[in-house]
Amino acid sequence: MEYNTTRSNLILREYGRNFHKLVDYVGNIKSKEERNKMSKTLVEMMKLTHPSFKDQNEIDAKMWDDLYIMSDYSLDIESPYPKPDKKSKSEVPKRLEYPKSKIRYRHYGKKIELLIDEACKLKKDEDKEAAVIHIGKIMKSFFGMWNKESIDNKVIVENIKELSNNKLTIDIDKVKEMNLFYKVTKERGSKSKHYHTKKNFKSNRPFRKRRM
């Protein structure tokens, strides 16, 4: 029985371990003529197991290159395409690092912090206030997705002030009075309000007699 800890690393994971074993088998065949024949069969099998590759250009050349790569460039065969050059470790793309900065409030996410940073760059006070209102709406919506309970508008104002290092703020009484941080959902009731207004408008129309 084979265990993952004792198995060799897969060079091209998209082909799986069985293909790597077949490549090793082909490489150990003594007759070069037989190796060439088996390599052609193996390339056709690779194309069958990856039907999405049909949409790619120069698919045959790619398959033969992958065959060499899986053999660690040691396969001695006559390929219809030039043998690819072995890449050094320095040519391997470096692994992307995850952002190391911590998110202060996970229920708001990193994008809120970026929006606040951009709002701090605004020069006019009215532009800053408009940005705070827009950000406050988003924060309230994001919190609603994170937690079923509603968040107080005062908490949002305090969070914006904290995340902006006291550069952004808004009058909490104004927010409450004008409901500036309303969530853009059906809960606002704009549809029902429009319906009742339309209904009242119809009911207040003057009565007209029908012509006989």
- What whole-number distance in Å separates Cα of residue 121 and Cα of residue 116? 9
By percentage, how much of the chain surpasses pLDDT 70?
A: 73
The reported pTM is 0.44
pLDDT single digits (tens) 183-200 = 655 444 444 344 343 444
- Rounded Cα distance, 113 and 11, in Å: 40
For the chain, the distance separating the N- and C-terminal CA atoms, rounded to the nearest angstrom, is 98
How far is 100 from 97, CA to CA, in rounded Å?
8
Per-residue pLDDT tens over the stretch 84-126: 888 765 555 666 666 666 788 888 888 899 999 999 999 999 9
Angle at 125 between CA 120 and CA 126, to 5 degrees: 115
In degrees and rounded to multiples of 5, residue 204 shows phi and psi of -90, 0
